[in-house]
Amino acid sequence: MTENTTPTGGFSRRRFLELGAGTAAVAGLAACGGGKSADDAAGADPTGEFSAGYDGPEIELSYWNGFTGGDGPFMKQMVADFMKDNPKIKVKSNTVEWAQYYQRMPAAVTAGKGPDVGVMHLDQLATNAARKVIVPVDDLAEAIGLAQDDFTEDVWTAGIYQDARYGIPLDVHSLGMYYNTESFEKAGVSEAPADAAALTDALDKLKSAGNANPFWMPSRWPAHLMFLSVLWQNGGEPYATDGATATFDSDAGVSALTWMVEVINKGYSPKNVAQDSQYVAFKNKQVDVTWDGIWQINDLKAADMPFALAPVPVVGESSAVWANSHNFYITRQASQDENKLQAAKVFIDALSKKSGDWAQAGMVPARKSVRESAAVKDTTQAPIAAQIDDMRFLPPVPGLGDVQAQTLEIAVADAILGKSQPADALKSAASKATQLMGENLKKYEA
């Protein structure tokens, strides 16, 4: 039949299993005192210990990540290399699809069966910090010599929640513009368009070269990321940094969404583009231009098609693009055991230094020193790496990602599918988002 979960049964079964775990968690939290114990435990001269690496007993580290795509094999290799260098630390990897990751990971940590160390997105750090799943890593950042000037300000500050740092950035990844080099050549477009006029010009040329719809406008992923990018380009901010109000219905937002709808109205895109079809069509060579995450590079390379990657053109007033970042974190589960904590830190230190290898997975290393190395200069994503100062991140507000999924994403989809006008869709979504953000503030501050 359809899903066989009865409404109460589904939840309650889960709740029941967590009943026992929950009690343990409460006890753990009481001992933890808001995650501060992690600081104390490692507070004793962490720098000295690091140079010596890990010299405790043999230990097993549980490591969770969501690298299920073309990035997976590279992470696997990095972990294998680490274990060769550190025979006393056995790393047990668990790869969970990102879509499920943020639901399973906190539950597993609560039950004591979660990761000791893992990778999560920058925009999830605040939520998990507020929910006390992860612990601060300020001392680690200091000990491994992470300094603010090795990072852009945006990625650095987005990892800080309530004056404590919760993530060690591994990479940054943004939206980019993929284009079919063969079609571009055929249509006589010599270089990747960098602004709105050049984009229109290129699309017109592609149209006259025979592709009636060269640039499909998606209604779902990554439509909201395109919207945010153009909104930032227009000088807007989607949310107030204090997490109290949503401001994506500003003029900057309305004109961003209007531009997206125009792409359809002017005939560059067909109507009703369903989820993922613009990307599949790009791989099928039906679409010549598409905006997507730079993590798709390896997937497109495997598809053996003629493509190149360029920064998202400046449709608005100045260059800006949506970005996110993979960050290492340590859970409160690991912070209970001093050896585990130390091993986790050694692990993060080692992998963070190797982020040049990680560039092969299609990402842009977060550290300036690595980013400017030869390992990155020759990659497909090099033009994106150069754009790092234009990358914009969501502010570290707990629960914001979920608010966005319920409001902004739906408003964007509604406007693109022609169900409502951009201004109306954004206005009602923003007022609902503000209401939800108020509820979240109350919830996480209590």
What is the footprint of another protein within residues 293-352 (CB under 8 A)?
Answer: none
Return the H-helix or E-strand segment holding 313: none
Q: Choose the stretch contacting another protein; rule: CB under 8 A; options: 65-73, 80-88, 106-114, 352-360.
A: 106-114
How crowded is residue 157: how many other Cβ atoms within 10 Å of its Cβ? 15
Among residues 77, 83, 432, 441, the one that binds another protein under rule CB under 8 A: 432
Strands 289-293 and 321-330: unpaired
What is the footprint of another protein within residues 107-126 (CB under 8 A)?
Answer: 107, 110
CA gap 341, 206 in Å, rounded: 56
Among residues 334, 359, 410, 426, the one that binds another protein under rule CB under 8 A: 410
Q: Choose the stretch contacting another protein; rule: CB under 8 A; options: 238-246, 317-325, 369-377, 429-437.
A: 429-437
**Cβ 312 vs Cβ 114: under 8 Å:** no
What mask, x for binding another protein by CB under 8 A, covers residues 63 to 102? Answer: ---------------------------------------x
Helix (H, G, I), strand (E, B) or coil at 5: coil
Encoded tokens for 176: 């980019």
| Number of residues near another protein (by CB under 8 A) | 60
φ/ψ (deg, to 5) at 403: -60, -45
Q: Among all chains, which residue has been given the structure tokens 């990751």?
A: 101
Q: Among all chains, which residue has been given the structure tokens 């206005």?
A: 427
286 binds another protein (CB under 8 A): yes
What is the footprint of another protein within residues 210-239 (CB under 8 A)?
Answer: 216, 219-220
CA gap 219, 199 in Å, rounded: 20
Strands 117-121 and 59-65: parallel
Among residues 26, 31, 44, 302, the one that binds another protein under rule CB under 8 A: 26
Q: How far is the CB of 15 from another protein (least distance, A)?
A: 5
**Cβ 206 vs Cβ 400: under 8 Å:** no
CA angle 235, 239, 242 (to 5 degrees): 120
Q: Where are the beta strands (DSSP E) in 96-163?
A: 117-121, 160-161
Among residues 76, 88, 131, 427, the one that binds another protein under rule CB under 8 A: 131
In the complex with another protein, the residue whose CB is nearer, 63 or 216, is 216
Among residues 1, 48, 57, 378, the one that binds another protein under rule CB under 8 A: 1
How crowded is residue 436: how many other Cβ atoms within 10 Å of its Cβ? 18
In the complex with another protein, the residue whose CB is nearer, 11 or 251, is 11
CA gap 271, 261 in Å, rounded: 10
**Cβ 219 vs Cβ 271: under 8 Å:** no
9 binds another protein (CB under 8 A): yes
What is the footprint of another protein within residues 151-210 (CB under 8 A)?
Answer: none
In the complex with another protein, the residue whose CB is nearer, 73 or 438, is 438
Q: Choose the stretch contacting another protein; rule: CB under 8 A; options: 38-46, 62-70, 177-185, 267-275.
A: 267-275
Give me the residues that bind another protein (CB under 8 A), please: 1-13, 15-16, 18-19, 22, 25-26, 29-30, 102-103, 106-107, 110, 131-133, 216, 219-220, 270-275, 277, 280-281, 284, 286, 399, 402, 405-406, 410, 413-414, 417, 419, 432, 435-436, 439, 443-444, 446
